Amino acid sequence: MQPDESPQAGALLRRHRPLVFVALRFLLGGALNTGITLVLYWMLLRFMHYQWAYLASFCTGILLSYLINTRYVFRAAHSWLKFAAFPLIYLVTYALGALALKLSVGHLGVPAAIGPLISIVITLPVSFILSKLLLQAPKPDFQG
């Protein structure tokens, strides 16, 4: 224990360590997904209109995100029902991000180039929580 670390802080860290590791895996998986879908988009641009390339890479990103989140991030079992529901997370976060963008750029005067960063700060935790709720089954409570 560090000299300035209290026993309570150490206990709190130990208690939440699994969640911290899951959150880090979520960030790494998201970065990997973003990189892959961006490269796919650039490759598809050589053969099709940018909107079709975006649609194809976006849909691939949803599929890849489901695979990364079930297998790597939350280590959850595959389920066709969860797979079918997973795109709803993207709908929710898109709507929330679009609203944050409208408020920050349209009403608060934030530069349009910075607005998406504010949206990411808001939607990333929501995406994490919704993915966790959908994909990770609650642990049984053996206390009672």
Distances (CA, A) of 7 to 11, 12, 14, 21, 41: 6, 9, 11, 21, 50
Residue-level pLDDT at 144: 45
**Entry pTM:** 0.80
- Measure the CA–CA gap between 135 and 77, rounded to whole angstroms: 8
Number of other residues whose CB lies within 10 A of the CB of residue 83:
16
Locate 103 and state its tokens.
Answer: 């408020």
Contact predicate 96/122, CB 8 Å: yes
Gyration radius of the chain over CA positions:
19
Two structure tokens written together for 99: 């609203």
Cβ count near 120 (within 10 Å): 13
| CA atoms of 35 and 47, how far apart (whole Å) | 20
Pair of tokens at residue 126: 């929501």
Per-residue pLDDT of the chain (144 residues; tens, 9 = 90+): 555 557 776 666 677 788 899 999 999 999 999 999 999 999 999 999 999 999 999 999 999 999 999 999 999 999 999 999 999 999 999 999 999 999 999 999 999 999 989 999 999 999 999 999 999 876 655 554
Strands (E), 36-94: none
